[in-house]
Amino acid sequence: MRRANAPAILLAGLFLFAGIFCIGILRLFAAGVPLIILGILTPQSLLIADQWEKAVVLRLGRLKAIRGPGWFLIVPFIDRVAVIIDQRIQTTEINAEQALTKDTVPVGVDAIVFWQVHDAERAALEITDYMRAIQRVAQTSLRETIGASLLSTLLAERRAADERLKEVIGKKTAEWGVSCLSVEIRDVAIPVGLQDAMSRQAQAEREKEARIILGSAEAAVAEQFLAAARTYAGEPAALQLRAMNIIYETTKERGATILMPTAMVDAMNPAVAAALNLASGTK
């Protein structure tokens, strides 16, 4: 709110000019003196509140009205504007250093509180300094929330902590005509030693999961090998075809020299293999 606003000053100048003109030129003291007095009092009685402001007007120490936004009149020397309430959304930064969690871990937490005055009368009359009170309430509520939460919960469920803080702060500030719109935890700082321990724990967990996955894969591969062995045992031709395929894949490499025993080459010919088995049985 601008106490000495341009329209009031312009109007006061017109009254003063008219009063001086009446006294100096027209010799009309009865008309000029009231105009001069009116010109002096106009800047003190005609005030303007901005769109987002509310003016708390007291008359002889008692609440008269809540004025604004726009122009409004007060009676000089009887009325006074006690306080101007800004009803825009405002922010308050809070932090809790070395606060202990439920599992006795010291942490530092930074947060932002978004709040707005919804009842200018209560904000002006119920508490001395609502801005400072909001900061202190938010600080205390943040420490209470940290003390009631485990470190793992505070790190993993930050949105839930935001909602709890909003509810706790909102209940305390509602009596002052202030609404807590939201709370956002920006950072949770933990000791460096604990960070190293948590990093090692996370790495151990990842290695454990990797070993479990590798073991499962090896078990699945072993089952496939067992099934293949059963198939080859019942179908010798399949084993021979597989051996031939392995040799073919090996010969794709340029410049490769492959040494194969004669018995292996004969084994790849089913007729020769059968003759050799028959000869061995006859002997």
pLDDT tens track for 45-57:
888 899 999 999 9
Counting the structural domains of the chain, the total is 4
Q: Which residue has the higher pLDDT, 66 or 31?
A: 66
Q: Are 158 and 139 part of one and the same domain? A: yes
How many angstroms from the chain centroid is the CA of residue 36? 59
Inside any domain, residue 131: yes
Q: Which residue has the higher pLDDT, 230 or 95?
A: 95
In this predicted structure, the answer to whether residue 26 has a pLDDT above a threshold of 80 is no
The mean pLDDT value for 268-275 works out to 57
Q: Are 60 and 145 part of one and the same domain? A: no
pLDDT score at 123: 92
Inside any domain, residue 73: yes
In this predicted structure, the answer to whether residue 207 has a pLDDT above a threshold of 70 is yes
Q: Work out whether the CA dihedral 157, 159, 165, 168 comes out positive or negative.
A: negative
User: Which of the residue ranges 93-97, 129-133, 240-244 has the most confident prediction, judged by mean pLDDT?
Assistant: 129-133
Percentage of the chain beyond pLDDT 70 is 79
Q: Are 14 and 32 part of one and the same domain? A: yes
Inside any domain, residue 1: no
**Final residue of a domain: which of 136, 170, 190?**
190
R_g of the chain, CA atoms, integer Å: 44
177 vs 86: CA distance, rounded Å: 12
Inside any domain, residue 11: yes
Q: Which residue has the higher pLDDT, 175 or 246?
A: 175
279 vs 283: CA distance, rounded Å: 6
The mean pLDDT value for 83-91 works out to 93
CATH number where 100 lies: 3.30.479.30
Pairing of strands 46-49, 178-189: unpaired
Q: Which residue has the higher pLDDT, 113 or 267?
A: 113
pTM over 0.75: no
**Final residue of a domain: which of 85, 120, 137?**
85
pLDDT score at 191: 76
Q: Are 54 and 68 part of one and the same domain? A: yes
Residue with tokens 């194969």: 260
Q: Are 179 and 261 part of one and the same domain? A: no
69 vs 58: CA distance, rounded Å: 17
Q: Work out whether the CA dihedral 69, 72, 77, 79 comes out positive or negative.
A: negative
In this predicted structure, the answer to whether residue 38 has a pLDDT above a threshold of 90 is no
Q: Are 54 and 97 part of one and the same domain? A: no
**Final residue of a domain: which of 85, 102, 130?**
85
Domain enclosing residue 135, as ranges? 90-190
Q: Residue 277 — very low, low, confident or very high, per pLDDT cuts 50/70/90?
A: low
* Least confident residue range of 18-22, 145-149, 216-220, 257-261: 257-261
pLDDT score at 19: 82
Q: Are 114 and 30 part of one and the same domain? A: no
pLDDT score at 254: 63
In this predicted structure, the answer to whether residue 92 has a pLDDT above a threshold of 60 is yes
Q: Are 167 and 200 part of one and the same domain? A: no
Q: Is-contact 60 89, C-beta < 8 A? A: no
Q: Residue 187 — very low, low, confident or very high, per pLDDT cuts 50/70/90?
A: confident
Q: Residue 222 — very low, low, confident or very high, per pLDDT cuts 50/70/90?
A: confident
45 vs 57: CA distance, rounded Å: 12
Q: Are 173 and 197 part of one and the same domain? A: no
Q: Are 94 and 118 part of one and the same domain? A: yes
Q: Are 252 and 216 part of one and the same domain? A: no
In this predicted structure, the answer to whether residue 7 has a pLDDT above a threshold of 60 is yes
Q: Are 154 and 63 part of one and the same domain? A: no
The average confidence (pLDDT) of the chain is 82
In this predicted structure, the answer to whether residue 241 has a pLDDT above a threshold of 80 is no
